[in-house]
Amino acid sequence: MKSLQNVVNEAMTWQEQPPVTASAYSQARYKLKHTAFIELNQDAVVQTQYSDGDYLRFWGFRVLAIDGSRITLPDNQAMREEFGTIAWANGLMPRPRCCTMY
């Protein structure tokens, strides 16, 4: 795995932009609304892949797989209230489950 700063530097190089700090990247990422990813998924995946009905089927059914994981969220009061907490090595943290469907 690469450090966040290395990933940010590579991304800026690809986009021909001046480098930014890892902190600036994290602060900008924190401002993203979760609904942006829902809308991007709807447009990029659902409409593109499945709107024409041309996909492989198994016995007439579309086969989907779901993977569940725990994700790490920023540790603040709003996150704790929304998602609850679990015991972690250094205290309680918000660690909700997420599911990804393939």
pLDDT tens-digit series, residues 64-90:
888 888 888 888 888 888 888 888 777
Rg (CA), the chain: 19
Average pLDDT along the chain: 80
Q: What is the pLDDT of residue 58?
A: 87
Q: What is the pLDDT of residue 43?
A: 76
Mean pLDDT of 38-55: 76
Please provide the distance, in angstroms rounded to a whole number, between the alpha carbons at the two ends of the chain: 24
d(CA 67, CA 78): 26
> Looking at the whole model, is its pTM more than 0.85?
no
Q: What is the pLDDT of residue 24?
A: 81
Residue 86 CB: number of other CB atoms within 10 A? 11
User: Which of 48-52, 62-66, 93-97 shows the lowest mean pLDDT across its residues?
Assistant: 48-52
